[in-house]
């Protein structure tokens, strides 16, 4: 029995095309390192000295990864996207805001989010900066507070201009994640010991 060449072609092409590699942008350091921001002074500081410049960010594959040891966000991320007025009043800490204006910036976005969110808590938001023509990722010490300090974590260089604004709606929950702790060496030892024990019991039962 022979297999038609037309059936083999898709298999050959799939083998030749490299798999798309997702990029993880990991944030694992103090977002306000080097800043004079004081969370207790009632004055907003917008800190951008440590922001990363990302050549691009593919919302289909890439994601931001945050280490909870450096961000006061607990152990879960809850995603929300849309115009600020339509956001859920509680439970969100990873937000993509669709609002815009000719002078739309991090402070403006944070203010709109603070008006919508009714519970205290730190979190992240992505917005389109119309002055710079890029999308940016921001950490807020309190999404519900208009005077909360902000740290600009990253700016996405492409797409830019009107295309950056259009790309905002493409962000989803899959683009935000928390870093998982790497097990200590002794944890691996315990795991291996446990697996060895299970294997020994299985061999005895089989015998």
pTM value?
Answer: 0.78
Does residue 115 lie in a domain region? yes
Question: Is pLDDT of 190 > 60?
Answer: no
Is residue 89 within 8 A of residue 95, CB to CB? The reply is: no
Is residue 125 within 8 A of residue 143, CB to CB? The reply is: yes
**Continuous segment of H or E residues that includes residue 97:** strand 94-97
Does residue 9 lie in a domain region? no
pLDDT in tens, 17-47: 445 567 999 999 999 999 998 888 889 999 9
206 vs 22 pLDDT, higher one? 22
Please state the rounded mean pLDDT for residues 119-138: 95
Least confident of 65-69, 109-113, 139-143, 181-185: 181-185
Q: Is 74 left (phi over 0), alpha (psi -120 to 50) or beta?
A: left
pLDDT band at 207 (very low <50, low <70, confident <90, very high): low
Per-residue model confidence (pLDDT) at position 205: 58
Q: How many CB atoms lie within 10 A of CB 71?
A: 22
Does residue 14 lie in a domain region? no
Domain containing 133 equals 21-200
pLDDT band at 168 (very low <50, low <70, confident <90, very high): very high
Least confident of 12-16, 76-80, 129-133, 156-160: 12-16
Question: Is pLDDT of 182 > 60?
Answer: no
Does residue 11 lie in a domain region? no
Question: Is pLDDT of 9 > 60?
Answer: no
Per-residue model confidence (pLDDT) at position 171: 97
Question: Is pLDDT of 14 > 50?
Answer: no
Q: How big is the CA angle at 79 (ends 73 and 83), to the nearest 5 degrees? A: 120
Tally of domains within the chain: 1
Does residue 46 lie in a domain region? yes
Does residue 5 lie in a domain region? no
Does residue 15 lie in a domain region? no
Does residue 3 lie in a domain region? no
Per-residue model confidence (pLDDT) at position 85: 94
Please state the rounded mean pLDDT for residues 149-158: 97
Mean pLDDT of the chain: 83
Q: How many CB atoms lie within 10 A of CB 145?
A: 18
Nearest to 97 by CA among 124, 63, 72: 124
């Amino acid at each position: 029995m022979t297999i038609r060449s037309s059936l083999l072609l898709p298999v050959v092409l799939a083998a030749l095309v490299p798999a798309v590699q997702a990029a993880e942008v990991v944030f694992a350091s103090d977002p306000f390192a080097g800043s004079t921001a004081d969370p207790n002074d009632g004055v907003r500081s917008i800190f951008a000295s440590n922001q990363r410049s990302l050549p691009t960010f593919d919302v289909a594959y890439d994601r931001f990864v945050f280490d909870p040891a450096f961000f006061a966000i607990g152990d879960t991320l809850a995603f929300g996207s849309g115009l600020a007025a339509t956001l859920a009043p509680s439970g969100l800490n990873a937000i993509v805001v669709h609002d815009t204006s000719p002078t739309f910036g991090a402070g403006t976005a944070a203010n709109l989010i603070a008006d919508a969110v009714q519970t205290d808590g730190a979190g992240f938001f992505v917005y389109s900066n119309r002055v710079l023509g890029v999308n940016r990722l921001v950490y807020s010490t309190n999404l519900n507070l208009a005077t909360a300090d902000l740290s600009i974590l990253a700016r996405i260089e492409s797409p830019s201009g009107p295309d950056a604004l259009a790309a905002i709606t493409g962000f989803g929950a899959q683009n935000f994640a928390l870093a998982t702790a790497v097990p200590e060496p002794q944890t691996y030892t315990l795991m291996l010991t446990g697996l060895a024990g299970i294997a020994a019991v299985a061999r005895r039962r089989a015998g």
